[in-house]
Amino acid sequence: MSEHALKLKAPDPVKAHGAWVYLAISILAGVLSAARFDMLTALLAGTAFVGVFVLSSAFAVYPRRWLPRLSTGLGILLVTVSCGFALSLEPMSLAYGTVAVFPASAAAWLGFRHGFQSAGALSFAVVTLVVAAPASMCAGGAPHLLGLLLLALLAPFFAWRTWCTREALRESSGWTRAKLRALGWREAAIALLWTTFSVALVHMLAAR
């Protein structure tokens, strides 16, 4: 397979540890931000994003092993959304699924132009995952303005860190498994620190 074809081949999102980290942190941010409201419903909405993530990964591995991924993701999505509605999930929170289409489309466009492992494509893909934070928060009954604030705090920061990490990997050589693991832990710690600050700020504004 040519180098150009390898660049255009979409990676398997499920095997990307960084994607799982940003998705988990985003869901955690949404659930913690909904602490004054309904954390359980927020958690169900966040888990629905896990279903969408697994479901979308089926298209990246098509035609091999795509059907089990599709059914698993769809099953998670249907169960969590159904349980969420049973627990008075805020219907307007589903509109964030529409918001996620824009960064996802930008990631796909940049992926086809510059490769799916390019800094731009990966950064917009991370923004797509971050939408889980305001969606889960507002599903628990939090005001949508606070949800948009949480999105504005997390999305640019996570996209920036993703860009920096990808550029560092591209410009430097001699990466070993230990160095990559250390880089991953460092970025996860940075993301958690910023998320803690963002959630605290959202809580301060919610209390006013």
Burial annotation 152-171 (CB, 10 A radius, 16+ → b, else e)? ebbbebbbebbbebbeeeee
Question: What is the pTM assigned to this prediction?
Answer: 0.90
Using DSSP's 3-state secondary structure scheme, residue 12 falls into coil
HEC string of 58-100?
A: HHHHCCCCHHHHHHHHHHHHHHHHHHHHHCCCCHHHHHHHHHH
List, for residues 8-48, the tens digit of each pLDDT value. Answer: 566 778 888 889 999 999 999 999 998 888 899 999 999 99
Residue 98, pLDDT score = 84
Percent of the chain exceeding pLDDT 90 equals 53
77 Cβ partners below 8 Å, 6+ apart? 48, 51, 52, 55
Find the mean pLDDT for residues 158-184.
88
**Domains of the chain, residue spans:** 12-207
Q: Is the pLDDT at 2 greater than 60, yes or no?
A: no
Residue 85 exposed, middle or buried by CB count within 10 Å (0-12, 13-18, 19+): middle
Looking at every residue in the chain, the average pLDDT score rounds to: 88
pLDDT over threshold 70, residue 3: no
All residues at 6 or more sequence positions from 177 whose CB lies less than 8 Å from its CB, including other chains: none
At residue 74, does pLDDT exceed 80?
A: yes
pLDDT attached to residue 169: 86
Rounded Cα distance between 123 and 33, Å, is 24
> How would residue 109 be classed by pLDDT, with cut points 50, 70 and 90?
very high
Give the CA-trace dihedral at 41, 158, 51, 29, to 10 degrees.
Answer: -20
Residue 162, amino acid = T
pLDDT of residue 159: 96
Radius of gyration of the chain (CA): 17
Q: What is the pLDDT of residue 8?
A: 52
DSSP string of 146-190, one letter each residue = HHHHHHHHHHHHHHHHHHHHHHHHHH-----HHHHHHHHHHHHHH
**Per-residue tokens: 78:** 């249907």
Predicted confidence at residue 1, as pLDDT, reads: 46
In the chain, % of residues over pLDDT 70: 95
pLDDT: which is higher, 4 or 94: 94
Report pLDDT digits (tens) over 116-170: 888 999 999 999 999 999 999 999 888 889 999 999 999 999 999 999 999 888 8
